[in-house]
Amino acid sequence: MGTIKEALREGLPCNKQGYLRTFQENVYTGSMQSDVQGMFRDGSGNELDSKAKAVHSSSMLGYNFFHWVTKNRPLTIDGIDYTKVFFEVKMTVLKGTNPANMDILLIGKKKRERKIHLLFIESKFLEYLENKEYKLGISYENSQKWQDKDTIWMDFLNAVRKCVDEESICKYKEGIKQGVSHIFALSNLAHKNENAISDLLRKNKCLGHDLNEESVKGADIHFINLIFEPSEKCFLDEHKKFKDYETLYNKFMNIVKGHTCINPTFMTYSELWQMAQNQIMKVNNGHLHQYLNDRYMRFAEMK
């Protein structure tokens, strides 16, 4: 079958690098609502006119999997009914620096419970096939820029740096750098930092009028690093690199749990698929389920 990128390109009108002519060719039904396009265009990186055209785009993988979530079609995960979805959500990391973009935010509640749950998701497709270093800006070590003053950030940063420096097998370390940014941002929210909360609402106007500072202050914060796991049988080399990154990220998660109030989860798209495919089957009479299977899941590892 060749490489997984070759398999993903098969039958699609893309170039040799795996890029389609437009991002619309990379999304379910070939169209994206204008308000959702606005979310992506407000994010950094001009996503829709560049990376979103790639058949291996992690942001479009996330969009295709979650775009359908509404009040009338909730997605239930761990007993929480998520009824709203947002993309490229901007979050304050450090004072006076650029925000971090979180790929996906799901908002929901448990039955008979008033408290809201915010589920932040970082979507990864095949990034772990790349060789990218861990490059963290010096600003992270400047205590004047920290919003969450309760966490001992230098201990956290030193532990992460030691973990990355000792890692010799996994060559994709940029994901850990992104993880550090997300943990800073999430910790600001989890500690009810008013600047972080107001910035979340102000910088993401699409979040809606029913989400206010009081509701965010009382929210439970969840974080999932959601990663595509290629089939070991069909893509042995790519699967090995996935496992190498999983090992590194699990070490990172242990550091996060030991130094901060955030409790991240590592989940594969295969696990999400097994958990949610009955719900996805109800969208457009099973058409979305067929699309996701044909585009992605037939190439994924299934336990």
Domain count, the chain: 1
The pLDDT tens digits of the residues spanning 275-299 come to 999 999 999 999 999 999 999 999 9
pLDDT of residue 44: 67
Predicted local confidence at residue 46, as pLDDT:
75
Distance CA 246, CA 270 (A): 14
Write down the pLDDT at residue 188.
95
Is 89 in contact with 128 (CB distance < 8 Å)?
no
Q: Report the pLDDT value the prediction gives residue 226, as an integer from 0 to 100.
A: 98
Return the pLDDT at 139: 96
Are β-strands 80-91 and 100-110 bridged in parallel, bridged antiparallel, or unpaired? antiparallel
Query: What pLDDT is stored for residue 210 in this prediction?
Result: 78
pLDDT value of position 45:
65
Q: What is the pLDDT of residue 112?
A: 82
Predicted TM-score of the model (pTM): 0.96
Sheet containing strand 220-227, strands side by side: 75-77, 80-91, 100-110, 116-124, 220-227, 265-268
Separation of first and last alpha carbons in the chain: 20
> Domain span at residue 165?
4-299
3-state helix/strand/coil string of the chain? CCCHHHHHHCCCCECCCCEECCHHHHCHHHCCCHHHHHHHHHCCCCHHHCHHHECCCHHHHHHHHHCCCCCCCCEEECCEEEEEEEEEEEECCCCCCCCEEEEEEEEEEECCCCCEEEEEEEEECCHHHCCECCCCCHHHHCHHHCCCCCCCHHHHHHHHHHHHHHCCCCCECHHHHHHHHHHHHHHHHHCCCHHHHHHHHHHCHHHCCCCCHHHHHCCEEEEEEEECCECCCCCHHHHHHHHHHHHHHHHHHHHHHHHCCCCCEEEEHHHHHHHHHHHHCCHHHHHHHHHHHHHCHHHECCC
Listed as ranges, residues in the chain with pLDDT below 70 are: 1, 44-45
